[in-house]
């Protein structure tokens, strides 16, 4: 059973066991949230949203229609998502672009993601970065606009573009995953 703070406005009944929703969170009726998630205060979640299991969403984040968030994703404070590339007051697109965040990905505080973007498994977007294109699996992107900076392992070890860690250990791709050589 989820734990929902009495000051949250949760309209959805599709919230997984063990999920904690803090005060001043709004979750609309059609949203789906997995198990053991931590939805911090002051988060807004629209209808056409799917959030996987073991996801952490820090304060000040809005999850708009068209978003799919995989398992074990971390979304830092005030990360910003958009779902309308050409927004106009009281003019709505017939459908919103789909934004996908892959399993284990991490988005830094105050990062911005444009609509229709895919972020690969275990990828990382640096704090304050503005993402304008897709990030492949296990890549680290930083800056404005965000650019490829290096790689990251599933466990969180940062690697250079040459797949070396800070101690000079070399890694390689095996079966779609980064591993030590």
Is residue 72 annotated as part of the catalytic site, yes or no? yes
Q: Which of 5, 54, 72, 149 is catalytic?
A: 72
Our CA dihedral for 2, 28, 79, 142, rounded to 10 degrees, sits at: 90
How far apart are the C-alpha atoms of 45 and 62, rounded to whole Å?
A: 6
Active site members: 72
């Amino acid at each position: 059973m989820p734990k929902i703070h009495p000051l949250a406005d949760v309209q959805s009944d599709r919230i997984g066991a063990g999920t904690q929703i803090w005060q001043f969170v709004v979750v609309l009726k059609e949203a789906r949230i997995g198990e053991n998630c931590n939805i911090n205060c002051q988060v807004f979640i629209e209808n056409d949203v799917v959030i996987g299991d073991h996801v952490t969403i820090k304060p000040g984040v809005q999850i708009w229609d068209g978003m799919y968030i995989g398992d074990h994703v971390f979304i830092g404070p005030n990360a910003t998502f958009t779902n309308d590339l050409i927004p106009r007051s009281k003019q709505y697109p017939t459908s919103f672009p789909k934004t996908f965040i892959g399993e284990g990905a991490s988005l830094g505080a105050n990062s911005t993601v444009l609509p229709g973007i895919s972020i690969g498994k275990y990828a990382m977007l640096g704090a304050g970065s503005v993402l304008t294109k897709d990030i492949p699996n296990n890549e680290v992107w930083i800056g404005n606009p965000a650019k490829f900076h290096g790689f990251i392992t599933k466990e969180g070890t940062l690697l250079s573009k040459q797949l070396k860690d800070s101690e000079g250990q070399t890694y390689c791709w095996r079966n779609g995953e980064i591993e030590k050589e």
